[in-house]
Amino acid sequence: MVSVYKGKQPSLAQLRAFVAVAEHLHFRDAAAAIGMSQPALSGAVSALEEALGVQLLERTTRKVLLSRSGERLAARARAVLDAVGELMEEAEAARAPFTGALRLGVIPTVAPYLLPTVLHLARDRYPELDLQVHEEQTFSLLEGLSVGRLDLLLLAVPLGMPGFTELPLFDEDFVLVTPEDHWLGGREDIPREALRELNLLLLDEGHCLRDQALDICREAGRTDGAAVTTTAAGLSTLVQLVAGGLGVTLLPRTAVPVETGRNERLSTGWFADPAPSRRIALVMRAGAARQAEFEELAGALREAMKVLPVRVVDPVA
């Protein structure tokens, strides 16, 4: 059976005094090294010996020696002080905003078009920030945020779910993408009701953009649930299907230059006001420890995104 000595807990000041004596083997030099008076140093070491129930030093009139127990415990005391120092450094880093890792989750219909702006901002304004990007669908991102796997999300809102705080960034219109010879291609006043009769191509199940497109169709009075026979896993494939004459689709404006610029067999049409749109926001856990930091980041992103074809949201409006 192992017996445990139940004395007083040693203090950090006592450990620091003992380690200084162990290093210098001289009370006056040790006291000077840590900025403590010699009587206070001697008292601290004696108090540590009492707390541990072990004699750490052999004192003579001419020199100080470590006892056998002192030699063993000096290494342990150094390790404790080193660990405390690392703890304080980590806490100082945590207090400093925009340092360390930030795990950002982004939906696929946002990532290719907004990440260049996000990454440029992070590199220029927050050079000490380790930005780690995770591209996933909305459900997976929300699960990751709720369990702490992710710190912040960039996605379409509103979510309509408790436990999350939305920091709106901007609204962007949807654009109708058609084959080049389509009768709606190039028009600037397309009524939403036109969606009732169109062969609309959508993303696969699980993409929030699919759900948004279905909502727009229902608002336009389409009663068949925008049933389609062809879907795609990503927007790039979707617009190629359109170019091949299989139907039309809806793209957010930020995606249009990238996705339609690669194929001359595509045309775009613009809806009459008010055009169907979506809102993009940063999303964090309600009461997040880094809330002030995330709010500042949202403000910086709003400013940076003014050059995009979007309507930046005024957070105080």
pLDDT in tens, 55-100: 999 887 677 899 999 999 999 999 999 888 888 867 766 677 888 8
Write the pLDDT tens digit of every residue in 5-56.
556 789 999 999 999 999 999 888 989 988 999 999 999 999 999 999 899 9
Q: Would you state the pLDDT for residue 235?
A: 87
Q: Would you state the pLDDT for residue 61?
A: 66
Alpha carbon distance 36, 16 (integer Å): 10
Q: For residue 262, is pLDDT > 90?
A: no
**Is the bond leading into 274 cis (omega within 30 degrees of zero)?**
yes
**In order of start, what are the domains of the chain with their CATH numbers?**
12-95 (1.10.10.10), 99-317 (3.40.190.290)
Give the max Cα distance, the chain.
Answer: 104
Task: Count each helix (H run) and each strand (E run) in the chain, helices first.
Answer: 10, 12
In eight-state DSSP terms, residue 204 is P
Write the pLDDT tens digit of every residue in 263-308.
888 999 999 988 889 999 999 999 888 898 999 999 999 999 999 9
What are the angstrom distances between the C-alpha of 37 and each of 28, 32, 34, 41, 146?
8, 7, 9, 6, 52
**pLDDT grade, residue 2 (50/70/90)?**
very low
Q: Would you state the pLDDT for residue 1?
A: 42
Q: Would you state the pLDDT for residue 159?
A: 87
- What is the pLDDT averaged over residues 121-138? 93
Is the CB of residue 253 less than 8 Å from the CB of residue 209?
Answer: no
The one-letter amino acid at 284: M
The one-letter amino acid at 186: G
Q: For residue 160, is pLDDT > 90?
A: no
User: Is the pTM value of this prediction over 0.75?
Assistant: no
Alpha carbon distance 102, 305 (integer Å): 20
Q: For residue 154, is pLDDT > 90?
A: yes
Closest CA to 182 of 85, 271, 266: 266
- Long-range interactions of 130-135: CB distance < 8 A, separation 24+: 130/100, 130/101, 130/102, 131/102, 131/104, 132/101, 132/102, 132/103, 132/104, 133/104, 133/106, 134/103, 134/104, 134/105, 134/106, 135/105, 135/106, 135/107, 135/108, 135/111
Q: Are strands 266-270 and 164-179 parallel, antiparallel or unpaired?
A: antiparallel
Collapsed DSSP state (helix, strand, coil) of residue 253: helix
Tokens of 265: 């067999």
Comparing 57-61, 116-120, 125-129, which segment has the lowest mean pLDDT? 57-61
What are the angstrom distances between the C-alpha of 65 and each of 18, 42, 241?
12, 14, 84
SS (H, E, C) 256-295: HHHHHCCCCCEEEEEECCCCCEEEEEEEEECCCCCHHHHH
Write the pLDDT tens digit of every residue in 206-238.
677 777 887 787 777 676 555 556 677 788 888
**pLDDT grade, residue 309 (50/70/90)?**
very high
